[in-house]
Amino acid sequence: MKKLNVALIGTGFMGKAHSIATAVVPILFGAPIEIERKVIVDIDEELARNAAHQYGFAEYATDWRDVISRPDIDIVDICTPNDTHAPIAIAAAKAGKHVMCEKPMAMTVADAEAMLAAARETGVVTMVSYNYRHTPALQMAKRLIDEGRIGDILTFRGHYLQDWGADPSKPLSWRFNKAQAGSGTLGDIGTHVIDAARLLVGEFASVNAIVKTFIPERPLPAGRFFGPSGAASSEMGKVDVDDAALTMIKFTNGVYGTIEVTRNAWGHHNQLGFEIHGTRGSIAFDYQRLNELRVAFADDPADAFGFRTIYSGPNQPFGDKLWPVAGMGQGYIDIKSIEWYNFLKAIADNTSAAPNFADGLQIERIAEAILASGENGNWVNIEQSAA
Ligand code: SOE
């Protein structure tokens, strides 16, 4: 297969993470296809130029439209704020480019449907960057479940807790603005847990949620704002998205679950986690201890029964391709690199990647149902995709 050229749109924190991942994937895993990190794009020319130099791209540009129409671009990597995902992804897919898109996939279900339709039209490979599902310990949880080692699943208890939003003096970045983000905590981090729950348990049938905004006003940012950090101005603005969502879930396979997400939980920095209780055992995962999977099996000897820890290493999924000794420590970039490996492998094998735009659309449906339930207080059924 010919070498494929990548155009990365967005030079912020995610642009940096994807740049490292695309640089190291051939070293870590052996590239399933050869790629060249060709162009990096930012509307700010100085940022684009600096990023090209620092992140190692051959060229830079300031308008994504010029870049995705180029015949020498094969893969478009979208690392921009949420409101630009749909226009870039639709144009890229229609131009026949494979698309990696940061999460959440879209601002609305309608946008996600249009993105999926565009990708289906040209048959390009798509992936949504729900990166945490690629964590070897989480994939180990999936292996244990698939092999029936905890029996039938009874309940799923998920959460994603952060604290960068808890301080009211934190500026009103695009992540607190519905017009740019679509939703708040739910879209930003809740969708990662929804992705994990779909992967590990199955499809959501219906949800019932409490959705709240705790800090209705924040200082406007001073200058361009990249992510959870940045300077504040003295002017205040209205927050029109959720700070927290507490959701009860009925899965289509009869499992029950809950998900709690908030960015206002002091002391919890990036705590995506879950417990899964089955008829023959339990599994517990906490991303802040991402090298560890805690397990308890009903068949363990009674006098030594209880949770114990599996440390990620060569015996867990993907571990043989990373570091040779369990407990050496896998990290964020290892996971981003696995994500990119899986995407490139799907392109090389001409198959679909996971999670792809169909998964992303289903996650948008679930998120929209949670917000609707938060408004009307009812259980809301979730439309299922046709097979
Ligand atoms: C901010 O909450 C953020 O950067 C999210 O947008 C990411 O998806 C999460 O992985 C880390 O926190």
| pTM, to two decimals | 0.97
CA of 302 to the centre of ligand 1 (A): 41
CA of 280 to the centre of ligand 1 (A): 34
Distance CA 378, CA 362 (A): 20
**What is residue 312's DSSP assignment?**
P
What are the pLDDT digits (tens) for 169-199?
Answer: 999 999 999 999 999 999 999 999 999 999 9
* CATH code of domain 3-131: 3.40.50.720
Res. 1: pLDDT tops 90: no
Given this model, what pLDDT does residue 159 score? 99
SS (H, E, C) 112-181: HHHHHHHHHHHCCCEEECCHHHHCHHHHHHHHHHHCCCCCCEEEEEEEEECCCCCCCCCCCCHHHCHHHH
- Ligand 1 pocket test: which of 161, 162, 189 has the largest number of ligand atoms within 8 Å of its C-beta? 189
CA of 387 to the centre of ligand 1 (A): 31
Answer whether 270 contacts ligand 1 (Cβ < 6 A).
Answer: yes
Ligand 1, residue 14: give the atom nearest the CA: 4
What are the pLDDT digits (tens) for 346-376?
Answer: 999 999 999 999 999 999 999 999 999 999 9
Answer whether 228 contacts ligand 1 (Cβ < 6 A).
Answer: yes
Distance CA 354, CA 285 (A): 21
Please give the structure tokens belonging to residue 239.
Answer: 């927050």
Q: How many CB atoms lie within 10 A of CB 108?
A: 14
What are the pLDDT digits (tens) for 275-287?
Answer: 999 999 999 999 9
- Ligand 1 pocket test: which of 102, 188, 288 has the largest number of ligand atoms within 8 Å of its C-beta? 188
CA of 176 to the centre of ligand 1 (A): 13
What are the pLDDT digits (tens) for 241-281?
Answer: 999 999 999 999 999 999 999 999 999 999 999 999 999 99
Give yes or no for a cis peptide into 168 (omega within 30° of 0). no
Answer whether 188 contacts ligand 1 (Cβ < 6 A).
Answer: yes
What are the pLDDT digits (tens) for 28-41?
Answer: 999 899 999 999 99
CA of 154 to the centre of ligand 1 (A): 29
Write the CB contacts of 299 (distance below 8 Å, at least 6 apart in sequence): 280, 281
CA of 278 to the centre of ligand 1 (A): 30
Answer whether 227 contacts ligand 1 (Cβ < 6 A).
Answer: yes
* Residue closest by Cα to atom 1 of ligand 1: 228
Given this model, what pLDDT does residue 31 score? 84
Q: Would you state the CATH architecture of domain 133-354+363-376? A: 2-Layer Sandwich (3.30)
Given this model, what pLDDT does residue 228 score? 67
* Residue closest by Cα to atom 6 of ligand 1: 188
Given this model, what pLDDT does residue 12 score? 93
Pairing verdict, β 35-41 and 4-9:
parallel
- Cα 211–217–218 angle (5° rounding)? 115
Ligand 1, residue 102: give the atom nearest the CA: 8
What are the pLDDT digits (tens) for 193-239?
Answer: 999 999 999 999 999 999 999 999 999 998 766 556 778 888 999 99
Ligand 1, residue 188: give the atom nearest the CA: 6
CA of 159 to the centre of ligand 1 (A): 14
Q: What is the mean pLDDT of residues 310-334?
A: 94
Answer whether 189 contacts ligand 1 (Cβ < 6 A).
Answer: yes
In sequence order, the β-bridge partners of residue 264 are none
Answer whether 162 contacts ligand 1 (Cβ < 6 A).
Answer: yes
CA of 300 to the centre of ligand 1 (A): 37
Pairing verdict, β 271-278 and 98-101:
unpaired
Is residue 142 within 8 A of residue 200, CB to CB? The reply is yes
CA of 188 to the centre of ligand 1 (A): 6
CA of 305 to the centre of ligand 1 (A): 36
The domain ranges of the chain are 3-131, 133-354+363-376
Ligand 1, residue 165: give the atom nearest the CA: 2
- The secondary structure element, H or E, covering residue 332 is helix 332-349
Res. 118: pLDDT tops 60: yes
